[in-house]
Amino acid sequence: MSKPAVPPSPGWDLERSPFHPGEIAIQERVGVREKIDAQGRRAVRRYLTPEQRAYFPLLPYVFMGSVDAQGRPWASVLFGEPGFVSPTNEVTVAVRARPLYGDPLNDAMFPGAEIALLGVQLHTRRRNRIVGTVGALMPDGFSMNIRQTLGICPQYIQGREISFDRDPLAPVPRPVHHASRLDAVSRAIIAKADTYFIASVAPHEGDNMVTGADVTHRGGRPGFVRIDDDSTLTAPEFVGNFIFNTLGNWQMDNHAGLMFIDFDSGDMLYIAAHAEVIWEGPEIRAFTGAQRLFRYHIDELIRVEASLPGRFTAPDYSPLLKRTGHWDEVAKTLEAERLRTVWRPFKVIETIDESASIRSFMLEPADDSGLVTYQAGQYLRIRLQPEGWAEPVTRAYTLSDVSNGRTYRISVKREGNDGVSDWLHEHVAMGDTIETLAPRGSFVFDETAGRSVVLLSAGVGITPMIAMLNSQLVNDGRTLLHKPIHFIHAAIDSERRAFASHLARKEALHTNLNLHIVFSRPSADDVLGKTHHSVGRIDRALLQKLLPLDDYEFYLCGPPTFMQSIYDVLLSLGARDTRIHLESFGPASVSRRVEQSVEADTSEGVVVEFARSGKTAVWRPKSGSLLDLAEANGLQPLYSCRSGTCGTCATRVAKGTVDYIEFPAHEMAPGEALICIAHPHAGLHLEDGTLNREGVTLEL
C-alpha cells in the first residue's frame, strides 16, 4: 500500500472552518453555527477513515455529482460489482465504472474535474460522501483525488437492493429524449417518486478545501415532489444533519442537478434547474415535517429509456416517513382553514391508556376534510351530548402531540366527578364520533427564543409538555432546539404517571434532554432511580439543584396551586416574568407580578376605560386579552370558555375598535366584542387635526 499523503487525524486538521461562507450563512440563520462548527471539525475529514475504506468496496452502485462545461451540476449513478469503488489509500479512490448511456456525466469527465461521490446502501440506509476531483482517466473508469469526506445521517432512505441483468461496465445504447419542459412520461416518473438526488456546486473563491461539487439524497412519501407546471417542481425539505451543504452551495450558485430513477421501468431522468429556497408560508406550516421548501425552475431535462443495468426490489419505506406529510394533505389542510370556526365531526380511531387515570383519544376527520395545523401547546375544543344530558356540552383538552396533518390526539384525565371527562372514559370508544372546533390557544412553544428550555408540569399538565417536547426532538435523535431541555414532572406514583415509556425513549435518543420525575407518594412497587428520580414536590431546592446557571424559557402547566407556587419560586430565583409561559386548568388561576420583570415593556399603551366601574387602565401587549386586563384591575366580567367559543363574555364597545388574537367561533351582535380573545386596536386615528392613539371604552 502506498503511503498516505495526509496523516490520519481525529478530524478536520486545519485551522480554517470545514465549511464555506454559504454553508456558514445558513447555519447562522438556523441558529446552529457554533454547534455544527464543533461537530464538523470532528466529522469532516480530508481523508478516508478505515471504516469508509471498508465501506465503499461493498457497494454495487454509487451516486455522483459532476459539473458540465457551462458550470451546471448534474447528478448521476454508477454501477458495478461490489469492489468497483476501491480506495487505493487514504486520499485516493479508483472507480471502475462507466456512466450510463445518455448520462450528462459522459461529457463532464476530465482530469481535474470537480466531482463528488455519495455511497448509499439503500437496504441498510448507510451514507458516506466524498468530495474531490478526477485524477486520471482509465479505460474502465477513473481515479479520484479526495479533498473532503463526511459520514451523513441515514434519514428518509427507502430500502432497495439491485440484481444485475447485464454487465454494468457495458453501457447499452438506449433512446434518449432531450427537452426543456416536462412531458407525460417525465411527469409520471416524478409523480410516483419517493427518492431523488440533488447535485450542487460551490465555486472556488480562494479556498478550494471547502468548495466544489456535491451530491445528496432526498426521500419522502411517494409523490412528495409536486409538479407545479411543466417547468416547475416543489419539494419539502425535512430535518437533516444541519450542515446544509446543498443550501450553502445555493447561497453561492443556485444551479441544481436533479436525478430521478424509475425503479420500475429502469428509465433515468436528469434535470438541470435553478433552485429557490422558500423559508416561510402556509404551505410549509401545512406540510408535516417540512422545515422549508425547495422550488426548482427547470432549464433542461434528459430522459433515457430503460437505462438501468438491473432491477431494484420493491421499497422498504423509511419509518421516518410516517412523520412527514404529503401534498394531498397540504391541499386539504389549507382548505380546512375555511372551516376554522365550524363544528366538525371527528371519528375516534384509537384509544390509549397512558396511565391509570389518563386516556388518549386519536381523532380523524369524519367529513373527508383536512386538519387545521396547530402549534405545540394549543388545545382542542370538543362538543358532545352525553346520554341523559339536556344540552350539548363543550370542553377544551390540550393536544398532546405535534401536528401531523392526519390526526388529533387529546389526553384526558378521569376526574371521578361524573363529569364530561368521566363520560369520555366510560362511553367513548373506537368508531364513535365527537365534534371539534379547530385548535386554538396562546400557550405555545416559542421556536424563535433560542434559549434553553424548562418544561414544568404536574399530573395531566404533562400533555402540552409532551407536544412541545415532540415538536423539538424528532426523528429518533435529531433536535430542532440546539440547547438543553429540562423536563421536570410531578406525579403521585408510577400508576398515575403518563407517557413514561415515551419519555424514557426520548431521553435515551436525545442527549440534550434532561428528565426528572418527582413522585409525591411512591407505591411499594416504585423504585427510586428507576421509576422516579426523587420523592416530594417540585420546589425551590429541587429547581436550584437541577438547573445550572443559564438563560431559560419556562413553560408551566398543572393544577392552580402548583402553577402559583412554581411561578412564585421562579420569580424568586430571578426568572423574568416574560419568560414564564403558563397554562392552567382554572382561568386566571395564577396571580402574575409583571412589575418584577427585568424586561420593561416600552411599547406605547392604549387607554381602556371601563364605563360602569369608572376605572381606567393602559393596555400593552403583555396585558393579554381585554378580559385579562379587566381582571387585573379588580373587575369580574362573566366568562366561560376564554376561547371565543361560547359568547358568555360578549361586552358592548362604547368607543373604539378591537382586534382578535384568533378569529371568534361565536357570532357577535353589532357593537359587541368577545373580550376573552380581544385586545384594543393599537392603530392611530385623526383627532382635531392630529394623529392620536385610539382608546377603547367598554360597558363594564
Separation between Cα atoms, residue 366 and residue 368, nearest integer Å:
6
Q: Residue 328: phi, psi to the nearest 5?
A: -60, -40
pLDDT the model gives residue 598: 39
36/50 Cα distance (integer angstroms): 23
Residue 127, pLDDT score: 87
Evaluate whether 130 touches 151 at the Cβ level (below 8 Å): no
Whether the per-residue pLDDT at 15 is higher than 50: the answer is yes
Q: Are residues 321 and 420 in contact, defined by beta-carbon separation less than 8 angstroms?
A: no
Give 377-425 pLDDT, tens digit per residue: 999 999 998 888 888 888 999 999 999 999 999 999 999 998 999 999 9
Under CATH, which architecture does the 606-698 domain have?
A: Roll (3.10)
Q: In the chain, which segments carry CATH 2.40.30.10?
A: 336-436
> C-alpha distances in angstroms, 277 versus 203, 280, 594, 668?
19, 9, 41, 42
User: pLDDT band at residue 647, thresholds of 50, 70 and 90?
Assistant: confident
Q: Decide which of 2.40.30.10, 3.30.565.10, 1.10.3720.10, 3.40.50.300 is the CATH code for 336-436.
A: 2.40.30.10
What's 11-57 look like in SS3? CCCCCCCCCCHHHHHHHHHHCCHHHHHHHHHHHCECCCCHHHHHHHH
Q: Do residues 115 and 76 lie in contact, with contact meaning Cβ atoms separated by under 8 Å?
A: no
Q: In angstroms, how far is the first alpha carbon of the chain from the final one? A: 89
Chain segment 281-307, per-residue pLDDT in tens: 999 999 999 999 999 999 999 999 999
The DSSP string of 442-457 is S----TTS-SEEEEEE
Which residue pairs from 646-654 have beta carbons closer than 8 angstroms and sit at least 24 positions apart in sequence?
646/394, 647/674, 649/674, 649/675, 649/676, 650/674, 650/675, 651/626, 651/675, 651/698, 651/699, 651/700, 652/698, 652/699, 653/696, 653/697, 653/698, 653/699, 654/611, 654/697, 654/698, 654/699
Average pLDDT, the chain: 90
Q: In 289-439, where do the E strands start and end?
A: 292-304, 310-312, 344-353, 358-365, 379-384, 393-398, 408-413, 433-436
Q: What is the C-alpha to C-alpha distance for residues 246 and 202, in angstroms, rounded to an integer?
A: 9
* Better-scored residue on pLDDT, 4 or 607: 607
Instruction: Give the β-pairing of 690-693 and 615-619.
Output: unpaired
Percent of the chain with pLDDT over 70: 94
Q: How far apart, in whole angstroms, are the C-alpha atoms of residue 344 and residue 394?
A: 13
Backbone angles phi and psi of 508, in degrees to 5: -70, -30
Q: pTM here?
A: 0.84
Nearest 5 degrees, angle CA 445-CA 449-CA 450? 110
Domain with CATH 2.30.110.10 in the chain: 21-325
Q: Is 259 left (phi over 0), alpha (psi -120 to 50) or beta?
A: beta
CATH class of 21-325: mainly beta
Instruction: Say how far apart CA 180 and CA 182 lie, in whole Å.
Output: 7
pLDDT in tens, 325-351: 999 999 999 999 888 888 999 999 999
Identity at 90, one-letter amino acid code: E
Instruction: Tell me the one-letter amino acid at 404.
Output: N
**Cα gap 106→87, rounded to integer Å:** 22
Cβ-proximal residues to 161 (8 Å cutoff; 6+ apart), any chain: 122, 123, 312, 313
689 pLDDT exceeds 50? no
Helix, strand, or coil (residue 298): strand
What is the widest separation between alpha-carbon atoms in the chain? 94
CATH of domain 452-596: 3.40.50.80
- At 207-237, the pLDDT tens digits run 678 889 999 999 999 999 999 999 999 999 9
What mean pLDDT is predicted for residues 586-614?
Answer: 68
pLDDT, greater one: 644 or 692: 644
By percentage, how much of the chain surpasses pLDDT 90?
Answer: 73
Please, where in the chain does CATH 3.10.20.30 lie?
606-698
Cβ proximity of 675 and 617 under 8 Å: no
pLDDT of residue 207: 62
In this predicted structure, the answer to whether residue 585 has a pLDDT above a threshold of 60 is no
Residue 309, Cα to own-chain centre: how many angstroms? 38
Residue 441's Cβ-side half-sphere holds a number of Cα atoms within 13 Å equal to 26
| Contact between residue 196 and residue 237 where contact means Cβ atoms under 8 Å apart | no
